[in-house]
Copies of this chain bind each other. A is one copy, B any other.
Amino acid sequence: MKATKKIATIKDIAKELGISATAVSKALNNKGGISEEMVKKIKETAKRLDYKPNVIAKSLKLNKTKTIGVIISDSSHTFFPKVIKGIEDAASKEGYSIILCNTDSVKEKEKKALNVLISKRIDGVILAASMLTHAEDYALLKELDIPFVFLIRRSEVESADYVINDNVSGAYLMANYLLRYHRKIHFFNIKEYNISAVDRLIGYKKALEENGVQYDPSLVLNMNPEIEDGYTAMRQLLEKGEDVKAVFCGCDVISIGVMEAIIEKGLKIPEDIQVAGYDDIDFAAYLRVPLTTIRQPKYSIGCKGTELLINKIRNKVDGMQHVVLKPELVVRQST
């Protein structure tokens, strides 16, 4: 085992200069009370010894870690990377680091991750599309007064901060647009139980109503946000010989599967069937047929949520903050 150069501590600096660790600490943190001359010498020595403050010790003493925990189902799932980037950018801008935890949307794993994060004494938590949406799920955070914010999916109750996309108006926007062409709109909503899906159904229904179209529950299918699910559902519909004119998918990933099934059947998009998605993923404009969709401001959701959280951490404000970002209709060739 090779000899390891130990990282210098304030004591090492103090010893070098024949002064106290206290003085070094004050100087390096610009706390004042130390002569300018000495401050200069201390800083020089720190640089020379390649001093790196031990943030762990600092955290222990100050009871703050400048670290934010991020709990997310699957950080690699299409929609999330941009959100995470937004989180990381906003956090590092304010001097915070992020610890990323994947949980596969399994409640038990989320709770475990939460415990790990609490043990690491994170200063705050971001719950991104989390399953812990019931008040009792996050009671612990409240009790311990650890700031947290929901992203993408809000809590069932209004007792927590959140930053979400306006799912009701997003779905409304799209349904309303599709209704210009057809009165029969299939809706492949996301299944994974969550309030976003509920909100989107509300938007869809609202559009129908305003257009004087009777809501037909048989046109609404619920599925996982996966290509396969969209493919299978669409295929089955087509095999049954059902008359499909337009399919509004709860996420772009589902649309991809839907388009595959349609193309495979030899039908044309949008001439025979219109397809629309939700999210506006990175490559939505470059798919088999460029996809009409609802743009969610993924990066912004991450930034805004993080800024909100950091404000909470800093000010310990008590009031709830609910940010609802406006979605945008992006029309491309699939409709």
Contact = CB atoms under 8 A, between A and B. Distances in A.
A42 interface: no
B119 A54 contact: yes
B81 A1 contact: no
A61 to B, nearest CB: 9
Nearest to A299: B76
B52 A60 contact: no
A88 B115 contact: no
Interface string A174-197: 000000000000000000000000
A78 interface: yes
Given A118-B52, A286-B227, A287-B288, A100 B101 contact: no
Contacts of A119: 52-55
Identical copies in the complex = 2
A62 to B, nearest CB: 10
B75 A88 contact: yes
Interface string A48-89: 001011111101100001010000001111101110110011
Interface residues of A, number: 56
A1 B287 CA distance: 52
Contact of A74 (B85, B98, B260): B85
Contact of A81 (B7, B75, B120): B75
A5 B143 contact: yes
Contacts of A283: 256, 283, 287
A45 interface: no
Contacts of A77: 81
A99 interface: yes
B99 A144 contact: no
Contacts of A75: 81, 84-85, 88
13 contacts: A2-B318, A4-B145, A7-B118, A54-B119, A56-B121, A75-B81, A75-B84, A88-B101, A92-B102, A98-B100, A99-B100, A256-B286, A259-B286
Nearest 6 A-B pairs (CB), nearest first?
A: A76-B85, A76-B81, A4-B145, A81-B81, A55-B119, A76-B82
Interface of A: 1-2, 4-5, 7, 50, 52-57, 59-60, 65, 67, 74-78, 80-82, 84-85, 88-89, 92, 97-102, 115-116, 118-121, 140, 143-145, 227, 256, 259-260, 282-283, 286-288, 316, 318
